[in-house]
Structure 1
Amino acid sequence: MAEDMATLEENFRRQNKSCFILGASGETGRVLLQQLRQRKLFSKITLIGRRRLFEDSAQENLAQEVVDFEKLDDYAAAFQGHDVGYCCLGTTKAKAGTEGFIRVDHDYVVKSAELAKAGGCSQFHLESSKGADKSSSFLYLKVKGQVEADIEALGFNRYSIYRPAVLLVDRQESRPTEWLARKFLSSCSFMFPTMSIPIDVVARAMASNTVLQPEQKSEILENKAISALGQSAAK
């Protein structure tokens, strides 16, 4: 697998593709950016967000586009000319309220995907959530499921959905109970790969899956599949 992946990645690099990342300031997006730069899969990576993440905009092969998500149509140019798009954008109801959560996790994401598709993007990778279902009675899962469906309707040449379970990541602002929960889930993650998953495994899976050629135009990777792909990529 490691040898095959190395060959696939080398062939992919030769195509000089470009990509953009939405949500690079978040936990998954930040590690995904590290993965893509480390593996040098793209000739250019563009970060699209509310603010600049790096002071030095002259960093090799890295561009930054600051946009107002409330007026995305005014920033259509930021979404043009990319071959691959990654979306790790999201918030929570606790942080943004019900309307704010829907606006960020649905409206911003779908509008960004529409602009990317119109701008020539052919491959879109979406970080969603375990249990996403547009028919769910739970707001979070319903919104995630609706986003998945709305983006699929756009007709990307390739569309990959990632549905991780509980994300394991060390946050400096976390409370002691959250820290203990993560430690417990982390110790169980290899025995029970449907319960949780480390952030770096998700990011590795998204990067690795980019160079693979799935049989179907659209695909959904549940937590177990993400875990298997992410762990194999680390070998």
Structure 2
Amino acid sequence: MKKIAFISGTSGLIGMQLMHQLIKDSTYDMVVSVGRRKLTLKHSKLVQVEGDLTKLEEWDLEAKLRSEDLGGIMFPLVEAIQNRKAEIHAFCSLGTTIKTAGSQAKFYEVDHDYVLNFARWTFGLGASKFLYVSAMGANPQSSIFYNKVKGEVEEDLKVIPFDYLGLFQPSLLLGNRREFRFGEEVAKIVTKPLVWLKLAKKYRPIHDYQVAKAMISYANQLTYKKVEVIPSKEMQNY
């Protein structure tokens, strides 16, 4: 067992892309998806654990993995995590909207608290790198609630001593969402010409798969940076 990827937020646009690409990536031996519920996807490299994310730091991962085990196939994974025999990278694309969450308080719980819970939990398991999907305009001092929360998450993640923290700030995302977001659809129509004409690289919409590819690429790069902010224009290259 050489390398394990932990991922949370797989039901979302980028998370789904991340999971598929991590499974295809030969550098990762196992992919552990952490969420409130399991997806229907099955693969020999994929392990899914579910539960209450508000209590994530109380989870007994070994017990959850063993409860899923049939014939001892999870033993190498459990042993690698317990004995720190594998390199662990954690990828987080957790997020919601105020409309879906129902209130600013619930939005904050998902976009801030769940992310920090996942980060602290994976660090405790031995994760050396944490890759987080933030947003363009993330700023803890912003008057825009969404950007303020994303900025607070970035600042709070910096306190956790990962060897590497990658903060990815994509612009408007292009992809097939499960739910319809009127504002985003209008913005896509207005800004789509920027993609066709390859203009305004910093602001033009970016595909979900480009963000996912960038995250995996940065996770596997040798770097001496402790914290790195990756703007949307850099992810456009993937």
What does residue 89 of structure 1 align with?
A: 94
Cα distance between partner residues in 1 of 2:210 and 2:60? 32
Residues 186 and 198, structure 1, Cα contact 8 Å, conserved in 2: no
| Cα distance in 1 for residues equivalent to 2:214 and 2:117 | 25
Alignment partner of 1:174 out of 180, 195, 205: 180
Match among 18, 23, 26 for residue 40 of structure 1:
26
Shift of 1:91: 0.6
Superposition deviation, residue 187 in structure 1: 3.0
Query: Is 1:70 the equivalent of 2:54?
Result: yes
Q: How many residues align?
A: 213
Structure 2 equivalent of residue 191 of structure 1? 199
Distance 1:89 1:216, change over 3 A: same
Distance 1:83 1:178 in 2: 34
Q: Distance in 2 between matches of 1:85 and 1:175?
A: 28
Q: TM-score, normalised by structure 2?
A: 0.82
Q: What is the CA distance between 1:41 and its match in structure 2?
A: 2.5
Tell me what 1:222 maps to: 231
Give the partner amino acid of 1:119: L
Give the alignment's TM-score, normalised by structure 1: 0.83
**SS of 1:107 mapped into structure 2:** helix
2:48 is matched by which residue type in structure 1?
Answer: Q
What is the Cα deviation at residue 60 of structure 1? 1.1
Are residues 121 and 194 of structure 1, via their aligned partners in 2, closer, same or farther at CA, if it must alter by over 3 Å?
Answer: same
1:107 maps to which of 105, 110, 113: 113
In structure 2, stretches of 5+ residues that fail to align are 65-77, 82-86
- SS across alignment from 1:83: strand
Contact 1:186 1:197 in 2 (8 A): no
Deviations 1:54-86 (A, max 9, x none): 264xx2111000020122233152798361000
- Choose the corresponding residue for 1:123, options 125, 129, 142: 129
Deviation for aligned residue 1:209: 1.3
Mapped contact 1:76–1:115 kept (Cα < 8 A): no
CA RMSD across the alignment: 2.2
Gaps of 5+ in 1: 1-14, 231-235
Shift of 1:134: 0.9
Residue in structure 2 matched with residue 141 of structure 1 by the alignment = 147
Distance, in Å, in 1 between the alignment partners of 2:50 and 2:147 is: 29
Separation of aligned partners in 2, 1:197 and 1:124: 21
Rounded to whole Å, the distance in 2 between the matches of 1:55 and 1:39 is 17
